[in-house]
C-alpha cells in the first residue's frame, strides 16, 4: 500500500467522523462536501477515475445543494406556520 | 427512551456489531490481491471486443447494461416519488400569501457573483457535454455528465434573477427530458432484440477504438443516461426550490 | 497494513450508525446515512484494487497491461447514483414530516399521529 493511499484513507476516516460530529445541518452541508472531496481523492489513488468523477459531482454538488434546498424549504414551512398563528 | 439510555444501548450493540464486521472484513483476501479473474478478463476484452477505451463504460452500457437499466428506473422512480411527496399538500397553501414583514432586507445577488455566474454557465454546459460524449473514451459518461449539466442550470439560479431562471425551468420540459432519456435507453436494449440478438447487444458498427464515433451503442447509452440524469436532477431540484422561489420572487 | 482499508470501512459504518441513533434532526440523520453508504464505496473499491494495477482506461496504456477491477468500479458508480436518489427521497420525506408534525426531531414524531 502506498503512502498516498494511507493518507487518503486517514482523511476519509477523519472526514466521516467530522460529518457525524457536526450537529448543525447547515454546517454539515459544507462538511459533507469536503468529505465527498476526500472520498474522491481516495478513489483517484485507488485507480478509479470514473468513480472519483461521479463522487465529485454527486458528493460535492448534488448532495450539499439538496441539503441546502431542504433547509430552505423547512424554514419556509416554519414561516408559513407562524403566519397561521 | 432518553438520549443517554439510547447512546448506552447503542454502544453495547455497536461493540458487538463492530467486532463482527472487523472479524468478517479481516478474513477477506489481503488488499491488492486479485480475487477471481472476471475483472481482468472483461477489462482486456473491452478494447478488442467493443472498441472502447474506457472499460467501466463498456461494463455499464454493454456487459452489465441490463443492470444499468434497472438503476435508471430507480432514478426515474425516485424522482417521481420526490415530485409526488413535495407536490402533495401544495394546493392547501396556495392562498394569497400575506408577507408578514414586507419591508425586510433580502440580500441582493452581488454583481461579482452575477458576472462570474454568467461566465460559468457556458463552461459548465460545455464540460457536461464533453464528459457525456467522451464517456466511452476517457473517465466520465452519462451519469457524471448528466449531473454537471444539471449543475449548469443551477448556476443560472445562482447568477440570475429567479424570474429568468423560472422561465428556464419549465417542469414539463424537464419531465419530458427525463422520460426521453429513460425510454431511449430502454429502446437501445430493445434494438438488440429487434435485430434478432440479445437484449442490449450492439447493433451499430463499432468503428475504430479511440475515435469519438466508436463503440457502437455505448455512446448512445451515455447520451440517453445523461439526459435522464439531468432531467431527474433538475426535476428534484425544482421541486425542492418551489418554496424558495416564491419567497425570492416576492421580494 | 493490508487490512487498513477494511478498518476504515468498519469505522465509517459504526460512525454513521452512531450519528443515526443519536440524531436529533432528520436532515442530520439523512447525512449520517450517506456516511454509512460511503463505506460501501470504499469496501467495493478496496476489493477491486490490484497491486500495481492501472486505471482501466486504455487510452495510453497497452490493452494487456494489468489494471484494477473495472467491474467493482461499475458497481460503485451505480452505488453512488443510488445513494443520491435515496438521499433526495429521504429529504423529501423530511419535508413531509415537517409539514405533518411540525418538527424534524425524530423523538417528537408521534407514531400514532400518522
Q: Quick check: A57 and C70 in contact, CB under 8 A?
A: no
Helices C4-21 and A3-21: crossing angle in degrees, nearest 10, is 10
How close are the terminal C-alpha atoms of chain C, in Å?
50
For residue B106, what pLDDT band results from cuts at 50, 70 and 90? low
Q: Reply yes or no on whether the pLDDT at B241 is more than 80.
A: no
Say if the Cβ atoms of B21 and C89 lie within 8 Å. no
Residue A83 confidence class, pLDDT cut points 50, 70, 90: low
Query: How far is A57 from chain C, CA to nearest CA, in Å?
Result: 10
In the structure, what pLDDT confidence band is assigned to residue A64 with cuts at 50, 70 and 90? very high
**Subunits close to B (at least 3 CB pairs below 8 A):** A, C
> pLDDT at residue C101 above 60?
yes
Distance CA A26, CA A54 (A): 23
Higher local confidence (pLDDT), C62 or B161: C62
CB atoms within 10 A of CB B130: 14
For chain C, give every domain's residue range: 4-107
Give the mean pLDDT of B128-137.
92
Burial tier of B196 (Cβ tally within 10 Å: 0-12, 13-18, 19+): exposed
CB of C67 within 8 Å of a chain A CB? The answer is yes
Q: How far is the C-alpha of B72 from the C-alpha of C81, rounded, in Å?
A: 9
- Report the pLDDT averaged over residues A26-40: 94
Helix (H, G, I), strand (E, B) or coil at B51: coil
Residue B17 lies in a domain: no
Q: Read off the pTM.
A: 0.88
| Cell numbers describing residue B175 | 419531465
Query: Is it the case that residue C112 has pLDDT exceeding 80?
Result: no
- CA B208 to chain centroid: 29
**What pLDDT is stored for residue C114 in this prediction?**
47
Q: Chains meeting A at 3+ CB pairs closer than 8 A?
A: B, C
pLDDT at B160: 67
Q: Return the CATH fold of C4-107.
A: Helix Hairpins (1.10.287)
Give the distance from residue C40's alpha carbon to the nearest chain B alpha carbon, in angstroms.
12
Q: Angle at the Cα of C38 (from B22 to C82), degrees rounded to 5?
A: 130
CA angle B142, B145, B146 (to 5 degrees): 75
Closest by alpha carbon to C42, among B165, A40, B18, B85?
A: A40
pLDDT at B41 over 80: yes
C99 touches chain A (CB under 8 A): yes
**Do the Cβ atoms of A62 and B143 come within 8 Å?**
no
Tell me which residue range forms the domain holding B245: 36-91+107-250
Q: Do B40 and C69 touch (CB under 8 A)?
A: yes
For residue A71, give the chain C residue with the closest CA: C27
Quick one: pLDDT band at residue A56, thresholds 50, 70, 90? very high
C17 and A CB contact within 8 Å: no
Decide if C108 touches B, using CB distance below 8 A. no
- Chain B residues touching C85 at Cβ < 8 A: 74-75, 78-79, 232
pLDDT at C8: 94
Contacts of A20 in chain B (CB under 8 A): none
- For the ranges B6-10, B106-110, B137-141, the lowest mean pLDDT is seen at B106-110
pLDDT at B108: 67
Position with higher pLDDT, C40 vs B88: C40
Looking at per-residue pLDDT, the higher value among B36 and C28 belongs to: C28
B152 close to A (CB below 8 A): no
CB crowding A4-41: b at 16 or more within 10 Å, else e: ebeebbebbbebbbbbbebeebeebbebbbbbbbbbbb
Cell 414583514 belongs to residue: B101
Q: Which residue has the higher pLDDT, B12 or B109?
A: B12
**Quick check: B157 pLDDT over 80?**
no
In 10 A of CB B117, how many CB atoms? 18
Contact, C13 vs C41, CB < 8 A? no
Cβ distance of C58 and B64 shorter than 8 Å: no
Tell whether B68 lies on the interface with A, counting CB pairs under 8 A. no
| Among the partner residues A50, A61, A66, nearest to B56 by beta-carbon distance | A50
B157 neighbourhood in chain A, CB within 8 Å: none
Contact C72 B26 (CB under 8 A): no
pLDDT, residue B1, reads: 66
**With 90 as the cut, is the pLDDT of residue C91 above it?**
yes
Compute the distance between CA of residue B162 and CA of residue B245 in angstroms, rounded to an integer.
7
pLDDT of res. B133:
92
DSSP 8-class letter at B62? I
Q: Cell numbers at residue A69, please?
A: 434546498
Q: Answer yes or no: is B18 within a domain.
A: no
Q: Is A80 on the interface with B (CB under 8 A)?
A: yes
- What CA–CA distance (Å, rounded) separates B218 from B136? 7
Reported residue count of chain C is 114
**Mean per-residue pLDDT, B155-173:** 65
Q: Decide if pLDDT at B3 tops 90.
A: no
- Nearest CB to B247 within list A51, A54, A76: A76
Mean pLDDT (whole number) for C7-16: 94
Least confident of A39-48, B88-97, B218-227, B237-246: B88-97
User: Is B235's pLDDT higher than 50?
Assistant: yes
CB pair distance less than 8 Å for B43 and C56 = yes
Residue B110 reports pLDDT greater than 90 = no
What is the complex's ipTM, to 2 decimals?
A: 0.89
Classify residue B239: in a domain, yes or no: yes
Amino acid at each position: 500500500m502506498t503512502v498516498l493511499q494511507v493518507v487518503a484513507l486517514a482523511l476519509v476516516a477523519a472526514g466521516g467522523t467530522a460529518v457525524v460530529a457536526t450537529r448543525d445541518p447547515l454546517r454539515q452541508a459544507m462538511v459533507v462536501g469536503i468529505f465527498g472531496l476526500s472520498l474522491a481523492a481516495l478513489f483517484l489513488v485507488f485507480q478509479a477515475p470514473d468513480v472519483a468523477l461521479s463522487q465529485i459531482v454527486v458528493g460535492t454538488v448534488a448532495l450539499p445543494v439538496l441539503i441546502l434546498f431542504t433547509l430552505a424549504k423547512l424554514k419556509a414551512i416554519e414561516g408559513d406556520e407562524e403566519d397561521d398563528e | 427512551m432518553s438520549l443517554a439510555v439510547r447512546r448506552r444501548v447503542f454502544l453495547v450493540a455497536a461493540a458487538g456489531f463492530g467486532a463482527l464486521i472487523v472479524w468478517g472484513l479481516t478474513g477477506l483476501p489481503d488488499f491488492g490481491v486479485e480475487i477471481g479473474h472476471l475483472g481482468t478478463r472483461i477489462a482486456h476484452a473491452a478494447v478488442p471486443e467493443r472498441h472502447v477505451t474506457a472499460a467501466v463504460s463498456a461494463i455499464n452500457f454493454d456487459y452489465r447494461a441490463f443492470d444499468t437499466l434497472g438503476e435508471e428506473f430507480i432514478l426515474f422512480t425516485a424522482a417521481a416519488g420526490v415530485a409526488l411527496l413535495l407536490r402533495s399538500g401544495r394546493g392547501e397553501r396556495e392562498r394569497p400569501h400575506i408577507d408578514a414583514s414586507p419591508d425586510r432586507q433580502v440580500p441582493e445577488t452581488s454583481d461579482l457573483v452575477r458576472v462570474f455566474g454568467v461566465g460559468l454557465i457556458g463552461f459548465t454546459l460545455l464540460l457536461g457535454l464533453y464528459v457525456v460524449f467522451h464517456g466511452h473514451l476517457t473517465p466520465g459518461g452519462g451519469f457524471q455528465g448528466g449531473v454537471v449539466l444539471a449543475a449548469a442550470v443551477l448556476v443560472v439560479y445562482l447568477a440570475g434573477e429567479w424570474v429568468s431562471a423560472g422561465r428556464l425551468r419549465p417542469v414539463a420540459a424537464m419531465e419530458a427530458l427525463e422520460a426521453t432519456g429513460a425510454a431511449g435507453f430502454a429502446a437501445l436494449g430493445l434494438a438488440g432484440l429487434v435485430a434478432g440478438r440479445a437484449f442490449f447487444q450492439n447493433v451499430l458498427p463499432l468503428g475504430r477504438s479511440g475515435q469519438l464515433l466508436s463503440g457502437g451503442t455505448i455512446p448512445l447509452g451515455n447520451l440517453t443516461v445523461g439526459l435522464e440524469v439531468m432531467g431527474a436532477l433538475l426535476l428534484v431540484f425544482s421541486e425542492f426550490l418551489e418554496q424558495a422561489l416564491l419567497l425570492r420572487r416576492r421580494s | 497494513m493490508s487490512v487498513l482499508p477494511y478498518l476504515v470501512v468498519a469505522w465509517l459504518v459504526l460512525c454513521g450508525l452512531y450519528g443515526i441513533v443519536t440524531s436529533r434532526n432528520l436532515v442530520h440523520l439523512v447525512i449520517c446515512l450517506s456516511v454509512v453508504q460511503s463505506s460501501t464505496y470504499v469496501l467495493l473499491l478496496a476489493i477491486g484494487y490490484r497491486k500495481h494495477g492501472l486505471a482501466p482506461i486504455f487510452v495510453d496504456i497497452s490493452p494487456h497491461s494489468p489494471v484494477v477491477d473495472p467491474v467493482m468500479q461499475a458497481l460503485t458508480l451505480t452505488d453512488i447514483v443510488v445513494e443520491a436518489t435515496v438521499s433526495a427521497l429521504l429529504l423529501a420525506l423530511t419535508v413531509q414530516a415537517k409539514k405533518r408534525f411540525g418538527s424534524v426531531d425524530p423523538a417528537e414524531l408521534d407514531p400514532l399521529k400518522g
